[in-house]
């Protein structure tokens, strides 16, 4: 710990000048060196300085250690996804901000705050925090550098700064990049998350497996479920149906037991997607029905569920009108181009195939491509490529096939 910073903190708090504090104890230049942590003072000098400010040095050490412990608790909460405790402790830490910022705990304090803002999805404050950390970076120790890498990765992933995120991943993957043991699972998890969002399911599987193993070792059960969810989606997208189904069933059971409502809903949704992919549309429809009964139209997921139900109904030849109506009502007064496209798509689906293909090519595919819906755009590219191949229009078929392959996983 930097004793000098603490001396300075209390001197400022007591409104003392350097001359007033050191009079009869040591010289001003000596005190100034102590305060800037260039010189470690003798125990006696220190005690005399603190006595002048009516502070007991021994107690001061305890205060420092208690703060350090609180900070560690704070970040451990984040690793175990205990957001409520984290929020409570954040308020307490904020009350002691001046103290923390005056000691050498400042780096960790500012670093951990970044993680907190990322959980809160408060992008503005997170960006602000990144600027503060950039200034502190030169004073980071090895542990802080390792932790910073993980948090920066999360920041860049959440702000969709793909290049910066990849740069960090590259840095961590080589032998020099080291991540503190506490954050190992978190780091694998974030990698799996990033790869999955980029539809690189094989790569995401690799990291998700590492994350699952690490979380199991750490008895980190909430994060374990999150990692299993990622893995199940990866399996589903790689057509490993049995593995995916096994994980989804486990997740449904455990999410319900642990009262993780939003996770339970997410699992229902993803599981129904798997069932549709396998051609088990009836099962998918039942899962979606259960999900629809659990959520209200205000939740963004509701629209996705409706669309998914429409798709399932179309596959199974079920009645679609009431779903189309509901989607129309949901769209009223909203300017949501994505939902509008979905609605038109399903309306056209009921009438003519020719019309549908034109619509897909002229409106849907360009829209998805432009707005980064990679997975969906690829599916459309594949269908359009097949269509053009079937009518002997090879140039166009190639164009779409190339998009499909280029956006897929690279074989390395």
Partner 1 sequence: MKRKWSVAFLAVLFVAVVGTGNAFATIQVNDEMSTYTTGNGNLHPPDVMPPQ
Task: Work out how close the CB of 73 gets to partner 1 at its nearest, in angstroms, rounded to a whole number.
Answer: 21
Report which of 138, 140, 198 is spatially closest to residue 166, judged by C-alpha positions: 198
The minimum distance between CB 338 and partner 1, in angstroms, equals 8
Structure tokens at 402: 């190339």
Residue closer to partner 1 by CB (options 3, 165) is: 165
Cβ proximity to partner 1, 42 vs 410, nearer residue: 410
Tokens linked to 102: 């005056």
Smaller CB separation from partner 1, 9 or 269? 269
Closest approach of partner 1 to the CB of residue 111, in Å: 17
Q: Compare residues 57 and 241 and give the one whose CB is closer to partner 1.
A: 241
Cβ-based nearer residue to partner 1, 46 or 229 = 229
121: left (phi over 0), alpha (psi -120 to 50) or beta: left
Between residues 39 and 221, which has the closer beta carbon with respect to partner 1? 221
Taken in order 12, 17, 20, 21, is the CA torsion positive or negative? Answer: positive
The site for partner 1 (CB under 8 A) is made up of 81, 118, 154, 157-158, 190, 193, 196-197, 202, 225-227, 229-230, 233, 236-239, 263, 265-266, 269-270, 273, 276-279, 281, 301, 303-304, 307-308, 311, 314-315, 341-342, 345, 364, 373, 375-376, 379-380, 382-383, 386, 404-405, 408-411
Nearer to partner 1, 177 or 202 (CB): 202
Residues 132, 64: Cα–Cα separation, whole Å = 23
User: In the complex, what is the shortest distance from the CB of residue 304 to partner 1, in angstroms, rounded to a whole number?
Assistant: 4
Q: Rank residues 70 and 383 by Cβ distance to partner 1 and give the closer one.
A: 383
- Are the C-beta atoms of 271 and 252 separated by less than 8 Å? yes
Tokens of 148: 């910073």
Cβ 289 vs Cβ 308: under 8 Å = no
Between 103 and 196, name the residue whose CB sits nearer to partner 1. 196
Q: How far is the CB of 36 from partner 1 (least distance, A)?
A: 40
Q: What's the rounded Cα separation, in Å, for the pair 387 and 18?
A: 82
Q: Looking at beta carbons only, is 93 or 194 nearer to partner 1?
A: 194
CB 211 within 8 A of CB 189: yes
Supply the minimum distance, in Å, between the C-beta of residue 18 and partner 1.
47
Enclosing H/E stretch for 212:
helix 201-217
Contacts of 27 (CB under 8 A, 6+ apart): none
The pair of three-digit structure tokens given for residue 344, joined into one six-digit string? 């038109």
What's the burial of 103, exposed, middle or buried (CB within 10 Å: 0-12/13-18/19+)? buried
Smallest distance from the beta carbon of 193 to partner 1, in angstroms? 6
Cβ at position 277, least distance to partner 1 in Å: 5
CB of 393 to partner 1, least distance (A): 19
Sign of the Cα pseudo-torsion (122, 125, 128, 132, in order): negative
At closest approach, how far in Å is the CB of 163 from partner 1?
18
How many C-beta atoms lie closer than 10 Å to residue 265's C-beta? 18
Q: How far is it between the farthest Cα atoms of the chain?
A: 98
Helix or strand run (H / E) with residue 161: none
Exposure pattern of 267-304 as b/e (b: 16+ CB <10 Å)? bbbbbbbbbbeeebbebbbebbeebbeebeeeeebbbb
């Amino acid at each position: 710990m930097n004793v000098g910073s603490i001396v300075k903190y209390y001197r400022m708090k007591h409104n003392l000048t350097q001359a007033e504090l050191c009079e009869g104890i040591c010289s001003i230049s000596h005190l100034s060196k102590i305060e800037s942590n260039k010189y470690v003072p003798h125990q006696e000098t220190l005690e005399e300085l603190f006595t002048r400010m009516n502070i007991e040095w021994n107690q001061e050490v305890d205060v420092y250690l208690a703060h350090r412990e609180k900070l560690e608790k704070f970040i451990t909460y984040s690793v175990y996804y205990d957001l409520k405790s984290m929020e409570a402790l954040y308020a307490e830490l904020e009350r002691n901000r001046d103290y923390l910022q005056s000691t050498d705990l400042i780096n960790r304090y500012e670093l951990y705050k970044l993680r907190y803002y990322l959980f809160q999805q408060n992008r503005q404050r997170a960006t602000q925090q990144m600027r503060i950390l950039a200034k502190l970076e030169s004073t980071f120790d090895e542990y802080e550098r390792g932790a910073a890498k993980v948090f920066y990765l999360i920041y860049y992933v959440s702000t969709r700064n793909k290049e910066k995120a990849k740069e960090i991943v590259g840095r961590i993957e080589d032998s020099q990049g080291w991540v503190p043991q506490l954050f190992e699972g978190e780091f694998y998890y974030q990698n799996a998350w990033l790869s999955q969002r980029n539809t690189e399911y094989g790569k995401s599987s690799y990291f998700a497996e590492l994350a699952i193993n690490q979380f199991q070792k750490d008895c980190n059960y909430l994060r374990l479920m999150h990692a299993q969810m990622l893995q199940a989606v990866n399996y589903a997208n790689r057509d490993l149906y049995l593995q995916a189904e096994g994980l989804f069933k486990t997740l449904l059971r455990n999410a319900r037991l642990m009262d993780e409502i939003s996770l339970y809903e997410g699992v229902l949704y993803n599981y129904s997607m798997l069932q549709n992919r396998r051609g088990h549309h009836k099962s998918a429809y039942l899962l979606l029905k259960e999900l629809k009964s659990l959520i209200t139209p205000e939740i963004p997921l509701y629209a996705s569920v409706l669309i998914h139900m429409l798709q399932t109904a179309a596959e199974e030849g079920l009645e679609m009108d009431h779903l189309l109506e509901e989607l129309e009502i949901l769209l009223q007064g909203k300017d949501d181009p994505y939902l509008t496209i979905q609605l038109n798509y399903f309306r056209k689906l009921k009438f003519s195939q020719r019309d549908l293909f034109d619509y897909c090519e002229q409106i849907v595919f360009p829209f998805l491509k432009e707005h980064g819906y990679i997975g969906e755009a690829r599916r459309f590219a594949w269908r359009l490529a097949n269509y053009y191949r079937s009518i002997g229009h090879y140039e166009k078929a190639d164009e779409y096939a190339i998009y499909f392959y280029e956006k897929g996983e690279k074989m390395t």
